[in-house]
Amino acid sequence: MQGNDACAEGAMAAGCRFFAGYPITPSSEVAEQMARRLPKVGGTFIQMEDEIASMAAIIGGAWTGVRSMTATSGPGFSLMMENIGYAAFTETPCVVINIQRGGPSTGQPTMAAQGDMLQARFGSHGDYSVIALAPSTVQEMFDLTVKAFNLADRFRVPAFLMSDEIIGHLRERVEFPDEVECIPPKPIKEGMLPFEPEDDLVPGFTPFGRGHRVHVTGLTHNEKGYPASTDPDLHEKLVVRLVEKVERARHEIADYDVVNPEAEIVFISYGAPTRAVRQALLDAPGKTYGHLNLRIVWPFPEGLLKKFPNARVFLVPEMNLGQIAREIQRHVDQPVIPIPRLGGELHIPSYLLKSAGEQE
Amino acid sequence: MKYDVLFSGFGGQGIILSAVVLGRAAAMYDGKYAVQSQSYGPEARGGASSSTVIISDDPIQYPKVLQPNLYVIMSEAGFLKFGAGAPESALMLIDTGLVQSRPQCRFMEIPATKQAKEVLGKPIVANIVMLGALVSSTGIVSFEAMEKAVLDSVPKGTEELNIRALNLGRDIVNKGENS
């Protein structure tokens, strides 16, 4: 099965019943598959006029209590940014699939890239936090889509599946479990307000029409949800909470593989380049290179870097000019060397070994 | 054993489908590992098209084919773009009616499009003829697995035609070996 189809199957298994989107290469198969599948189970597929409207529609869908998703790439992801900020500020659980292609602008529609990794974290204005997952197999296109829904619901945030054209269009064997774990958002507790956080900093979520009066606004709001946009203390407290509710869980939700923790030269990767690193390690059985593969990139779990106590240098192959390498460098004293590959093709394993050899 | 297979021809011949069917035969019916990908671009019908599939007894990490060891070439343009540089150790199956050039490596001439037209009356199944020839000449997957994968992949009502095409490819190879 193709990666994009496995993503759609993951969404169906996770109980997604509303999809609004605008088709764009190389993500369109996700929408096509959702359009085929949703009507058969009483769900709704709607093709919107553009990606701005698509993002707005899934926010509305989520507030009706239905797991909601869209899928896009490149320019479409840019158009969604305004409403992604709205989703973050209104604490709306939703899932955005981004099958990354070469940018900027319309760039390389049919080629792979990982150029939207910082945009996923910081692309809308203001401070907020989100969750971003990165699959490197077709199986993970399924598994991590399910996980994205659960994390979006738990933290009341937009969750992004940051895949790319390589994995989206790759066909390999995938196994679907009989059922997947679906954890709905916790409801508002008795006596609590719609935007009043519990101990985990996340307010309970009760959709429209389920017994609570909820006002949803993109303006700075109090715990009732009413606008209160000129109160400096309230604004600061709210924004800090929105960032903290995600960031402080970064190690608890971290999802990763560690290989050769004793190594001095350590690769760090996520998404498609993980496949190139794994091949490089197989091709050089005499070498002990470390490898950290991240399945959740945001919030960035910097504590994992300490799992390589002997690390002298971190090598970071990415299909961009070093977006996550920059984040890693923030947390370590050792040199962090980006291994960028632009143009749409995956890193060649022998090139990774050459890069590692230069550090010996 | 690991096969890195490259299919090339022109858009509309079913080049991508061929790789998908081969991968499906290996992964679903022969208990092997397979990954399939394709050159993917704005080419429509008629442009040079290619797709690759890796088949292995062991899990496959790197999903892209860097150096094919098996080629199935169904157009001259596809040969020039993807087949001309084949290493000497590779094996190439060539649709003789459509490809004029010949490679440095070992090759087999399979008149797939010609025979599909003359014997079956449907040149559109030439890609399945090539798959039949590929399986018979290399044993890359079992013939039974390929039959099942073809049946999974073709439109309803064309099952018999496609199985005949698969058998035709096998017969072309067997006759060639006997003579």
Q: CA-CA distance, B160 to B151, in Å (whole number)?
A: 9
**Which pTM was predicted?**
0.96
* Ranges of residues in chain A whose predicted pLDDT is under 50: none
Picking from B42, B61, B63, the nearest residue to A110 by CB comes out as B42
What total number of domains does chain B contain? 1
- Chain B residue numbers with beta carbons less than 8 Å from the beta carbon of A275 are 61-63
Is A278 within 8 Å of chain B by CB? Answer: yes
Q: Where are the alpha helices (DSSP H) in chain B?
A: 15-24, 76-78, 112-120, 126-138, 143-153, 159-178
Which is higher by pLDDT, B144 or B49? B144
Nearest to B39 by CA among A163, A26, A117, A317: A26
Domain with B43, as residue range(s), is 2-178
Q: CA-CA distance, B70 to A158, in Å (whole number)?
A: 45
List, for residues B148-177, the tens digit of each pLDDT value.
999 999 999 999 999 999 999 999 999 886
Residue B78 amino acid letter = G
The answer on pLDDT for B42 being more than 70 is: no
Min Cα distance B147 → chain A (Å) is 18
Q: CA-CA distance, A282 to A325, in Å (whole number)?
A: 23
In three-state secondary structure terms, A109 is strand
Burial of A219 (0-12, 13-18, 19+ CB in 10 A): exposed
Residue A165 DSSP label: H
Which is higher by pLDDT, B39 or A93? A93
Q: CA-CA distance, A100 to B141, in Å (whole number)?
A: 34
Determine, for residues B34 and A349 on separate chains, whether the beta-carbon distance falls below 8 Å. no
Residue A10 Cα distances to A97, B6, B43, B142, angstroms: 12, 30, 30, 31
**CA Rg, chain A, in Å?**
20
- Nearest residue in B to A166, CA atom: B37
Output the average pLDDT for chain B.
93
Question: Buried b / exposed e across B51-62, counting CB within 10 Å, b at 16+?
Answer: bbbbbbeeebbb
Q: CA-CA distance, A278 to A289, in Å (whole number)?
A: 10
Give the number of other CB atoms < 10 A from CB of residue A244: 13
Determine, for residues A279 and B61 on separate chains, whether the beta-carbon distance falls below 8 Å. yes
* A1, A171, A319, best to mutate vs chain B, most B CBs in 10 Å: A171
Min Cα distance B174 → chain A (Å) is 31
Q: CA-CA distance, A282 to A349, in Å (whole number)?
A: 9
At B11 the pLDDT is 84
The answer on pLDDT for B44 being more than 90 is: no
- Chain A residue numbers with beta carbons less than 8 Å from the beta carbon of B64 are 166, 345-346
Determine, for residues B40 and A169 on separate chains, whether the beta-carbon distance falls below 8 Å. yes
Q: CA-CA distance, A162 to A239, in Å (whole number)?
A: 24
β-strands A296-298, A265-269: how paired? unpaired
The answer on pLDDT for B60 being more than 70 is: yes
At B43 the pLDDT is 58
At B176 the pLDDT is 80
CATH number at residue B74: 3.40.920.10
Q: CA-CA distance, A113 to A108, in Å (whole number)?
A: 9
Picking from B35, B62, B66, the nearest residue to A171 by CB comes out as B35
At A212 the pLDDT is 87
Residue A189 amino acid letter = K
- Domains of chain A in start order, with CATH, are 1-249 (3.40.50.970), 256-357 (3.40.50.920)
- Chain B residue numbers with beta carbons less than 8 Å from the beta carbon of A165 are 40
